[in-house]
Structure 1
Amino acid sequence: MVKNVIRYGYVPFMLIGINGAAVYLAAHGASELWLISLIITAVACSFAAERILPYRDEWNTGLDDAGRDAAHAVVNETFILASVAVIPLLAAIAPSHHWWPSSLPFVVQVFLAVLVADFGITTIHLASHKVGWMWRLHAVHHSIRRFYGLNGLMKHPLHQTVEMIGGVLPLVIMGIPVQVASVLAVCVAVQLLLQHANVDYRVGTLRSVLALNEGHRFHHLKWAGVGDVNFGLFTLVWDHLYRTYSYDPQRGFTTDDLGMAAKPHYPTAYFRQLVEPFTARGACHFVDTDADMSSRRTESTP
């Protein structure tokens, strides 16, 4: 019974429960400390769900990566929350800050912020698989060898910055209120947990619309080109438009499918991962021909 509750109730609890609580608290002027507590609650619930209903049992066992992943998560989440604090200043000096639709209901403003951020972050994410210098930074995220909640914030801080600029700058220019930005920060944290969760949950046909773990596992297939799919953070709408959506209901995933085939010995220590993009060996590996792409897709088929 508990497993069934998690299988069908985990996603609604996170998307509606945690995010809904953030909307309510921010709309009623609660301290940002309550929002931080919601993120901590979401992380705790993610860890609990992963242990009760894991997609792969072995992904709950560390590969000498727990400390590194925690460091990435703390640094990057702290950066996100700190960025929210400077939004009032940025919004005040933005020349078009009066564009923000403040007359709309608060929850609609949050929904608008999510849609705008989703487009920007998805586009930057896609570019990160195509542009050499961006891939150098983004490769840190693709070096994972197990798929679980904290992976979502396992990013090079510079790539996190680039993604945030792409997703949030348009909102800042429009004059997004700090309360809306605070809820957006919670929504991003919740989404990253859901997207990488080692939880065997079910969302039915919504898996082709929402950017959740069933679809995002395809993005982490280790073969060059094969994983260039499902870039969305919140939704897969832009992937459908970019023609980068992919899903095979028969596909299963193991540890052997993850990582980067071209970089099997990518550094695993936190500080070494910060330095790796700036070394000669941190270069990008592109797929050069359609034939090579086809052969890699064949190789990745179970």
Structure 2
Amino acid sequence: MVSNLIRYGYAPLLLVGVNGTGIALAGAGASKVWLLALLAATVGASFVAERALPYRREWNAPMGDSRRDAVHALVNETLILGSVAAIPVLAAVATVADLWPHRWPFAFQVVFAVMAADLGITLVHFASHKVGVLWRFHAVHHSVKRFYGFNGLMKHPLHQTVELTAGVTPLLAIGLPVDVASVLALIVAVQLLLQHSNVDYRVGALRYVLSLNEGHRFHHLKWAGVGDVNFGLFTLVWDRLLGTYTYDPGRQFSSDDLGMAAKPCFPDGYLAQLAEPFHARGACADEPVDDDQPHPAVPAHARDDIDRLL
């Protein structure tokens, strides 16, 4: 019974319960401290659910990455919160015209902000797999060897800044209110938890529309080109338009499928990961490169992923 409650209730609890509570609090003018408390409680619930109903039990065991991931999460969430606090100053610089739909119900304003941010962040994410300089920074996120909630905030802070800028600048240009930005920050954090969660939850047909863990695991497949799919943060709408959507309900994942096959020696330490994009060839500098075979062999199940994409 508990397993079924988590399997079918976990995603609605976060998507509707937590996000809805955040909208209600901000819409009523509550202190931002309440949003922080709500986020902390959500993180705690996420860890409990991962242990009660894991997709892969072994992904709950640290791989020498717990402290590093906690630092990534602390630094990147602090940057997000700092950006929200700076909204009044940023708006004074970036607002072109106050076209914000202030008369809309507050919840509709938040949904509008989420959809607009989803487009900007998705496009930068897509470009980060195509443009070399962006990939250098985004590779930090793809070095993970297990798939669990904190992976969502395991990002190079410079890359996260680029993503947030792309998602929020258009909103600032039309007068994004601070209260809406505060809820947007909460919803982004909740979405990253859901998207990378090790909880074996179910959302039915919504898995074809929302960018959640079932679909996002395909994005973390380690073989070059195979993981260039399902870029959306909140939805899979833009992936369908870009032709980058994929899903196979029978596909199973393990740590052997994650990471970067072309760069298996990506550094594990936090500071080393921050420095890695600035190295000429990074941690693989001492490894010989065979120009005739630039990438490791792709196993049969990964070839099936490639065939599905084609």
Superposition TM-score, scaled by structure 2 size: 0.92
1: CA distance between counterparts of 2:108 and 2:256? 42
Identity over aligned residues, as a percent?
65
1: CA distance between counterparts of 2:113 and 2:95? 19
2: CA distance between counterparts of 1:297 and 1:47? 32
Q: C-alpha deviations, 1:150-188, integer Å up to 9, x for none?
A: 000000000000000110111111111000000000000
Equivalent in the alignment of 1:210:
210
CA contact (8 A) 1:136 1:282 kept: no
2: CA distance between counterparts of 1:264 and 1:94? 41
1: CA distance between counterparts of 2:234 and 2:48? 22
Equivalent in the alignment of 1:35:
35
Q: C-alpha deviations, 1:180-219, integer Å up to 9, x for none?
A: 0000000000000000000000011110100000000000
Q: Which amino acid aligns with 2:302?
A: S
1: CA distance between counterparts of 2:282 and 2:87? 34
2: CA distance between counterparts of 1:204 and 1:296? 31
1: CA distance between counterparts of 2:126 and 2:233? 11
CA RMSD of superposed structures (Å):
1.7
2: CA distance between counterparts of 1:20 and 1:299? 40
CA contact (8 A) 1:132 1:283 kept: no
Q: Which amino acid aligns with 1:54?
A: P
Equivalent in the alignment of 1:289:
none
Question: Is the aligned partner of 1:21 residue 2:21?
Answer: yes
Equivalent in the alignment of 2:222:
222
2: CA distance between counterparts of 1:269 and 1:93? 37
| 1:188-267 matched pairs, under 5 angstroms | 188-267=188-267
Equivalent in the alignment of 2:171:
171
- Where 1:280 maps in the other structure, the secondary structure is coil
Q: C-alpha deviations, 1:71-118, integer Å up to 9, x for none?
A: 000000000001000111222343424111111110000000000000
| 1:28-177 matched pairs, under 5 angstroms | 28-177=28-177
Consecutive unaligned residues of structure 2, counting only runs of 5 or more, are 285-293, 305-310
Cα distance 1:136–1:6, how it changes in 2: closer, same or farther (>3 A)?
same
CA contact (8 A) 1:277 1:283 kept: no
1: CA distance between counterparts of 2:164 and 2:76? 11
1: CA distance between counterparts of 2:8 and 2:301? 33
Deviation at 1:301, TM superposition (A): 4.8
Deviation at 1:283, TM superposition (A): 9.8
Equivalent in the alignment of 2:302:
300
Deviation at 1:121, TM superposition (A): 0.3
Cα distance 1:38–1:158, how it changes in 2: closer, same or farther (>3 A)?
same
Q: C-alpha deviations, 1:210-238, integer Å up to 9, x for none?
A: 00000000000000000000000000000
CA contact (8 A) 1:117 1:167 kept: yes
Q: Which amino acid aligns with 1:111?
A: V
2: CA distance between counterparts of 1:257 and 1:235? 24
CA contact (8 A) 2:122 2:231 kept: yes
CA contact (8 A) 1:221 1:257 kept: yes
Q: Which amino acid aligns with 1:117?
A: A
Moved over 6 A (4+): none
Q: Which amino acid aligns with 1:8?
A: Y
Equivalent in the alignment of 2:275:
275
- Where 2:75 maps in the other structure, the secondary structure is helix
Cα distance 1:280–1:12, how it changes in 2: closer, same or farther (>3 A)?
same
1: CA distance between counterparts of 2:167 and 2:146? 27
Q: Which amino acid aligns with 1:142?
A: H
Cα distance 1:122–1:297, how it changes in 2: closer, same or farther (>3 A)?
farther
CA contact (8 A) 2:265 2:283 kept: no
Cα distance 1:97–1:40, how it changes in 2: closer, same or farther (>3 A)?
farther
2: CA distance between counterparts of 1:230 and 1:283? 28
2: CA distance between counterparts of 1:281 and 1:181? 38
Aligned residues: 294
Equivalent in the alignment of 2:290:
none
Superposition TM-score, scaled by structure 1 size: 0.94
Q: Which amino acid aligns with 1:87?
A: I
